[in-house]
Chain A
Amino acid sequence: MTRKHRFAHRMVWPALAFMLALGFTMALALRAPPDPPHAASEPQR
């Protein structure tokens, strides 16, 4: 890896890591509340 590559890499990876963390956090925050226990349905796939 040349120094230029290393520099580009240092700039790009935090952005990608941030996007992934954001995607995961949103998926967690936006998910539907759990079913009430008596109405347990087959998990959907």
Chain B
Amino acid sequence: MSVAFKAVQWNRDKLIYDAVLVAGVAIYIAGFAAVAWRWHPPKNLPDVLDIWLRAFGTAAFLMLTVILCIGPLARLDCRFLKLLYNRRHFGVLTFFVAATHVGLMIEWFAVQGLLHTLPADFTTWENYGKFIGFPFKTLGVAALAIMLTMAATSHDFWLGFLKPPVWKALHMAVYAAYGLVVMHVALGIMQYEHTPLIPLMLIGSLGAVATLHLMAGWREWDADHGRAAAADGWLLVGPPNAIPDKGARIVTASGGERIAVFRDGDQIGALTNLCAHQNGPLGEGRIIDGCVTCPWHGYQYRLADGCAPPPFIERLVTYRVRWNQGVIEVDPHPLPPGTPASITCPRTGA
């Protein structure tokens, strides 16, 4: 998309996503504060700050948990692809919620005139040799530093500048941040407060993240190894309804090549999963204004033939698809870029 390309930065879907996201976080934080206020009515300003500190801390932790669940959920059930589509905004908001948590913690020390005692929490070196008693705030700072790096480089400029493999590797650090935050809570507040809610929150989160990753990994392993191929080598995609409307289902050919099979109403077409721009995961994108739209920078391609609409010149490899006794199948042999190969499916019902 060399000529005056304008990335799809904002569209209706993204605005709705962001509005729901911000509303959800605001409702959680306000609800947490309201319940905590009733339960342990604050006696002074530090108590009030403590409630907000916990509200923002738990919100950031739960958001991090949800972020880590979105990937495997989207692989398990296509309805969750919508969440994946705009996950970056989720990450940036999580950083701001976590940063507010830290700001409130500093304020908690400040209003009591204890700010000068804070550095000692980080510089009491012998504590770094302990397990219980480890400076848990340092773990929080490390997590926050990772989240800051990710939020700061989330913009497309950085994706282009760092190149997708480096960017992707950098963003895998979200798992490190998650581990650090789990230990920040386990070695911090969990040691001082004996409410069962804290271990329950951690166990619930770890359980959800691990289970979903295992399930998705299992599914993917199955798909990479044993996706039922017809006698003539065509790969099973599933019934048309299994492909989200205006979204894709990704199947893997035996060589490891991923194919994105899109559905737009009753039109079905298969393209390579690799965007011509910077190898973005096309199958995680959606069909917007009639074109398959890459989730990374919004490059667009026609479903029918994999060509970018004029005046652009990019062309993608396409694959033949067929409708066989109620299910869609795809031929794993690539066609030359830009070859028309989509079909109209008899009845999709959805």
**What residues make up the interface of A, taking CB atoms closer than 8 Å to B?**
2-3, 6, 10, 13, 16-17, 20-21, 23-24, 26-28, 30-32, 34, 43-45
Residue of A6, A10, A20 ringed by the most chain B CB atoms within 10 A: A20
Distance (Å) between the CB of A33 and the closest chain B CB? Answer: 8
Distance (Å) between the CB of A21 and the closest chain B CB? Answer: 7
- CB < 8 Å: which of B187, B194, B206 contacts A27? B187
Q: Are the C-beta atoms of A28 and B199 separated by less than 8 Å?
A: yes
* Secondary structure of the B contact surface, majority rule: helix
Please indicate the chain B residues that have their CB under 8 angstroms from the CB of A3 in the complex.
256
Chain B residue with minimal CB distance to A44? B192
- CB < 8 Å: which of B187, B194, B206 contacts A20? B206
Q: Are the C-beta atoms of B183 and A27 separated by less than 8 Å?
A: yes
- B152 contacts the other chain (CB 8 A): no
B: number of interface residues (CB 8 Å)? 26
Please indicate the chain B residues that have their CB under 8 angstroms from the CB of A45 in the complex.
105, 108, 188, 192
Q: Are the C-beta atoms of A30 and B131 separated by less than 8 Å?
A: yes
Distance (Å) between the CB of A42 and the closest chain B CB? Answer: 9
Complex CA–CA separation, A44 to B117 (angstroms): 13
* Secondary structure of the A contact surface, majority rule: helix
- B182 contacts the other chain (CB 8 A): yes
Q: Are the C-beta atoms of B191 and A32 separated by less than 8 Å?
A: yes
Chain B residue with minimal CB distance to A1? B168
Please indicate the chain A residues that have their CB under 8 angstroms from the CB of B194 in the complex.
34
Distance (Å) between the CB of A37 and the closest chain B CB? Answer: 11
Chain B residue with minimal CB distance to A34? B194
Q: Are the C-beta atoms of A21 and B206 separated by less than 8 Å?
A: yes
- B179 contacts the other chain (CB 8 A): yes
Please indicate the chain A residues that have their CB under 8 angstroms from the CB of B187 in the complex.
27
- CB < 8 Å: which of B132, B192, B203, B206 contacts A43? B192
- B217 contacts the other chain (CB 8 A): yes
Residue of A2, A17, A26, A27 ringed by the most chain B CB atoms within 10 A: A27
Q: Are the C-beta atoms of A23 and B217 separated by less than 8 Å?
A: no
Question: Could you give 24 example pairs across A and B, Cβ below 8 Å?
Answer: A6-B224, A13-B213, A16-B175, A17-B210, A20-B179, A20-B182, A21-B206, A21-B210, A23-B183, A24-B182, A24-B183, A24-B202, A26-B131, A27-B131, A27-B132, A27-B190, A28-B186, A28-B190, A31-B190, A34-B194, A43-B189, A43-B192, A43-B193, A45-B192
